[in-house]
């Protein structure tokens, strides 16, 4: 007779046989690990903040360049419509601001009045977006930019902010007068700085962290504006 085989059933909850317990070690971080993680988080936050600041500056410069282009285009249109000379005056410190503590680049329009034989304002001083400033000269970083290598004529011309011929006297709020650089638009649509024969009139914008007289500006965030005297049209060039 063959011995009968007995099936082994799985243990029940009441099974008294001993079991082997699994011990779980509590997880934790050492001080060195915490310092490494904190340092990495700090670096990531700094990179994110720098990227956001750069993006905001780029947006501000784009807005400032567009505002200037719109003002120049409006002056050209007003000159044609009024059949008179219209001036666009610029400043790195608008009237009423403290030049020692504030950077407040602004633009204003003036039209020649035949009755008073003087230029009368047709707009208030409009500040450019915060965080931007007009440079007084075209820095080398713009003159060496790829667009300038392809078309060198776009960085050759009269610097609107520094050419002595561009300076003219304008009244200021509260009385008195001040010298501001300006460009004129004629009823035939052309632009000019009186006494200047250059085909192009140049100006540049940079973040307000750059001082207006910073001819050594080397930043990678800027806007270069070119006014064609023959057509009165303005083009914008960015990095």
SS3 content of the chain, % helix, strand, coil (to 5): 30, 25, 45
Q: Does 12 reside within a domain?
A: no
- The CATH number covering residue 130 comes to 3.55.40.10
Q: Does 72 reside within a domain?
A: yes
What pLDDT shows up at residue 104?
A: 73
Residues 44, 40: Cα–Cα separation, whole Å: 6
Residues 32, 75: Cα–Cα separation, whole Å: 64
Diameter of the chain by CA atoms? Answer: 137
Q: Does 219 reside within a domain?
A: yes
What pLDDT shows up at residue 52?
A: 44
Structure tokens at 99: 């030049």
Q: What is the DSSP string of 70-90?
A: HHHHHHHHHHHHHTS-EEEEE
Q: Does 67 reside within a domain?
A: yes
Q: Does 32 reside within a domain?
A: no
Q: Does 210 reside within a domain?
A: yes
Instruction: Enter the DSSP assignment of 5.
Output: P
209: CB partners within 8 A, 6+ apart? none
User: Which residue's entry shows tokens 């667009």?
Assistant: 147
Nearest to 75 by CA among 181, 184, 165: 184
Q: Does 26 reside within a domain?
A: no
Q: Is 69 left (phi over 0), alpha (psi -120 to 50) or beta?
A: alpha
Residues 87, 109: Cα–Cα separation, whole Å: 6
Q: Residues in the chain with pLDDT < 50?
A: 1-2, 5, 7, 22, 24-25, 51-52, 54, 56-57, 101
What pLDDT shows up at residue 115?
A: 94
Q: Does 25 reside within a domain?
A: no
Residues spanned by the domain of 200: 41-237
38-67 pLDDT tens trace: 777 777 666 655 544 545 445 678 889 999
Residues 27, 39: Cα–Cα separation, whole Å: 21
Number of structural domains in the chain: 1
């Amino acid at each position: 007779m063959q011995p009968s085989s007995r099936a082994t059933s799985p243990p029940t909850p009441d099974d008294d046989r001993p079991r082997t317990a699994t011990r779980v070690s509590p997880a934790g971080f050492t001080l060195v690990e915490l310092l490494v993680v904190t340092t990495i988080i700090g670096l990531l936050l700094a990179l994110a903040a720098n990227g956001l600041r750069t993006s905001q500056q780029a947006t501000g410069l784009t807005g400032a360049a567009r505002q200037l282009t719109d003002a120049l285009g409006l002056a050209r249109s007003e000159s044609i419509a009024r059949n008179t000379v219209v001036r666009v005056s610029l400043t790195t410190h608008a009237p009423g601001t403290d030049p020692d503590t504030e950077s407040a680049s602004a633009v204003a329009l003036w039209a020649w009045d035949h009755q008073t034989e003087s230029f009368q304002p047709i707009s208030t001083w409009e500040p450019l977006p915060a965080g931007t400033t007009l440079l007084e000269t075209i820095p080398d970083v713009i003159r060496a930019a790829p667009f300038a290598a392809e078309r060198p004529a776009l960085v050759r011309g009269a610097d609107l902010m520094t050419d002595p011929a561009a300076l003219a006297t304008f009244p200021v709020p509260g009385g008195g007068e001040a010298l501001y650089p300006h460009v004129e638009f004629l009823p035939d649509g052309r632009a000019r700085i009186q006494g200047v024969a250059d085909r192009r009139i140049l100006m540049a914008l940079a973040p307000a962290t750059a001082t207006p007289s910073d001819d050594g500006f080397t930043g990678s965030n800027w806007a270069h504006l070119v006014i064609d005297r023959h057509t009165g049209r303005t083009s914008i060039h960015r990095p």
